[in-house]
Amino acid sequence: MNKAVFLDRDGVLNEEIGHYVWKLEEFVVLPDVAASLARLKQAGYYLVVVTNQAGIAKGLYSAAEVQACQQKLQQATGNLLDALYFAPAHPSVSESLARKPGSLMLEKAMARFQLDPTRCWMVGDRLRDMQAAERVGVQGILVGASEPAAYQPRVADLQAATDLILAGSVRNS
């Protein structure tokens, strides 16, 4: 069985700008993301982006625009990402098991890459990311300060999350 790091997109890999990010000129990869992903890849992790993209359901942008942002991210990180899963639904328009806190995106990747959930991590900036991970037995790391909850472990950014993962820190129970 393999291991992976699931990565939320906005606020973890690229700048969180306070509204939907789909325009390439607004899609800015955060500092140290490429170096962090390279360290994780070197340690044998699959790298899987799992992102809610409700703007599609709302008609603000298309799946092709999400893919264009993913391509920009791939170019900025040396094509280190193994997969992109995105949930185009929004509760006001349509329901979806894929939309986090649902876990279908993670489940699909787990089947595709034959992942052992006890060897996987989820790095996200929202409690819904942590809830999706918990549903499938994956350890979560909350980054940033956008959520007021006292969730642990909580770190500043992907670089600090990478340090925790590679240090083999003890899983929360």
Residues with catalytic annotation? 8, 10
CA dihedral 54, 58, 98, 113 (to 10 degrees): -70
Distance CA 104, CA 22 (A): 23
Paired residues of 5 in beta bridges? 47, 121
Give the position of tokens 């306070």: 18
Q: CA neighbours within 13 Å on the CB side: how many for 75? A: 9
Sign of the alpha-carbon torsion through 27, 28, 33, 38? positive
Closest CA to 165 of 122, 127, 116, 130: 122
What are the backbone dihedrals phi and psi of residue 28, each rounded to the nearest 5 degrees, phi first?
-115, 115
